[in-house]
Structure 1
Amino acid sequence: MTTRNILNSLKKVVIATVLVMAQLLTGFKSGNAQTTPVKNIVLVHGAFADGSGWKQVYDILTKKGYHVSIVQNPLTSLKDDVNAANSVIDAQDGPVILVGHSWGGAVITAAGVNPKVAGLVYVAAFAPDQGETAGKWVGAAPQAPEAGFTKPDQFGFVYFDPAKFHGGFAGDLSKAQSDFLCASQVPIIGHCFEEPVEQAAWKTKPSYGIVATEDKALDPGTERTMYKRANAKITEIKGSHVVFISQPAAVARVIMAAAENK
């Protein structure tokens, strides 16, 4: 065999090896990344109800073997809330499914660009596009008569109107449950709803959206519109704005489907 033939043979071996390695890497990125279940779940609350509202969902997920972390948003600005979410996301030991309720949807839309985030779940939540505010979608449909908000106080905080809290926010909970949520509600700085999202993670991450069909705080039709635009897999669940409290098993099933990429 001549030197030229030997070199040609070696070249073919090198090319074949490179092609095989490229196929393996492609398979790893597009196959394994999609089929390997995600074990880390990060839950983000919205305005007026803090992270403790996720307790029943947390119990279900942890019993199924998931590692669940809950963000406590300061609700002082979109940036502050995104930073709080990223602090928790960065502490995880692997890929994350990021779940947001209500205002928390705006937070996960922005924080979801974090490389550790593998998918998004919106629970009766805002899903704004780049440059949009949550406030734009608050006004996308007429406000239900059951709902109402206070004017900003001297510090800029807004509360859900206590007189309308049960019917407008937690209509499918008992009066006792609703009264406690109302008494312990976490206000949000009103300006948060005027802050635009800089990046929309749903453009590049698999997304799931839960429509709370009896929601009075955020119009169900508005939820559907945002989810469809985000190309999210939509699940409709009969429940109020706090559907994650009233229907925790149904909400947990959607989160697990996202974790398993179903």
Structure 2
Amino acid sequence: MAILSSSAPSGASQAAVVLVHGGFVDGSGWEGVYKVLKRDGFEVSVVQNATESLAGDVAATHAAIDALEKPVILVGHSYGGVVISEAGNHARVAGLVYIAAFAPDVGESVATLIANPAPGAPVPPIQPQPNGFLLLDKAKFAEAFAADVDPAKAAFMADSQVPWGPEALAGAVTVPAWKTKPSWYLVARDDRMIPPEAQRAMSMRAGSTTVELEGSHAIYVTQPGGVAELIEVAAETVTSSGN
């Protein structure tokens, strides 16, 4: 997928974008995607979730949506897909974009979706902490999460991890927004956190318009142009259809 031209898409004036990060990281990883979207004329908000509980992260995402006046394209990476599946029921959300993300059905959570990994699938190096929160093994972070990220940046990401709360991991979706809202899904073909096969299965179940790119779980960091292009396609689609 090529980066869109610098001329602003028509959807830029009609839709805003809200970016939701996943577990172990914060919103700063969206910087590259943010810059492309801003260049192309979009109003963009980056949610900084505490990732302590799904309910708390949904509330923070709703607050970001409430601050906008335009229809919203809600974008989630990894665990952020769980957040947008629940938060996407907000009346202002016009479309959902999943970036190498979980897309749960009713009653599903990250915990249930990863309970029975496919044979041969890589096991993320998650390390429970004494306080019950979760981190990735710093020595294995790059290989598992960010294999195509610059090594120095991957090391920084490993050392600046945000502890992921067990209530967030176990937070179950009540009404998946993808059942009633149009969705798009970007599969990261080299993902070692969420197997690509699982990503394809979730995107198919959600009826998402799906594209694939070569990249690790951190594809939103390494391929901001391709990620932003899919978001812009979603914005163009929902605004042209009047959603």
| TM-score normalized by the length of structure 1 | 0.83
Give the counterpart letter for 1:232 in structure 2. Answer: S
Once the two structures are superposed, the pairs formed by residues 129-148 of structure 1 within 5 Å of their partners are 129-142=105-118, 144-145=121-122, 147-148=124-125
1:231 to 198, 204, 207: 207
- For the 8 Å contact 2:76–2:84, the answer to whether it is kept is yes
Per-residue CA distance 1:158-202 (angstroms, 9 max, x = gap):
001112101000000121110011111111112322221111000
Partner of 2:78: 102
- For the 8 Å contact 2:147–2:216, the answer to whether it is kept is yes
Per-residue CA distance 1:51-107 (angstroms, 9 max, x = gap):
000000000000000000000001110000000000000110120000000000000
* Cα distance in 2 for residues equivalent to 1:39 and 1:113: 17
1:241 to 206, 210, 217: 217
Partner of 2:171: 195
* Cα distance in 1 for residues equivalent to 2:153 and 2:99: 20
Give the counterpart letter for 1:41 in structure 2. Answer: V
Partner of 2:180: 204
* Cα distance in 2 for residues equivalent to 1:196 and 1:51: 22
* 1:63 maps onto 2:39 in alignment: yes
What is the total number of aligned residue pairs between the two structures?
227
Structure number with greater Rg is 1
* 3-state SS of paired residue (1:159): strand
Partner of 2:145: 169
Higher relative contact order (CA 8 A, sep 6+): 2
Gaps of 5+ in 1: 1-34
* 1:254 maps onto 2:233 in alignment: no
Once the two structures are superposed, the pairs formed by residues 115-126 of structure 1 within 5 Å of their partners are 115-126=91-102
- For the 8 Å contact 2:122–2:195, the answer to whether it is kept is no
Partner of 1:25: none
* 3-state SS of paired residue (1:260): helix
* Cα distance in 2 for residues equivalent to 1:145 and 1:208: 25
Deviates more, 1:91-100 or 1:142-151: 142-151
* Cα distance in 2 for residues equivalent to 1:144 and 1:155: 28
Deviates more, 1:196-205 or 1:184-193: 184-193
Partner of 1:75: 51
Tell me the CA shift for residue 133 of structure 1.
1.3
Cα 1:257/1:162, change in 2 over 3 Å: same
The structure carrying a bigger helix percent of its residues is: 1
Partner of 1:28: none
* Cα distance in 2 for residues equivalent to 1:100 and 1:178: 20
Tell me the CA shift for residue 146 of structure 1.
6.8
| TM-score normalized by the length of structure 2 | 0.90
Per-residue CA distance 1:191-237 (angstroms, 9 max, x = gap):
32222111100000000001000000111111111110000000101
Partner of 2:195: 219
* Cα distance in 2 for residues equivalent to 1:243 and 1:95: 26
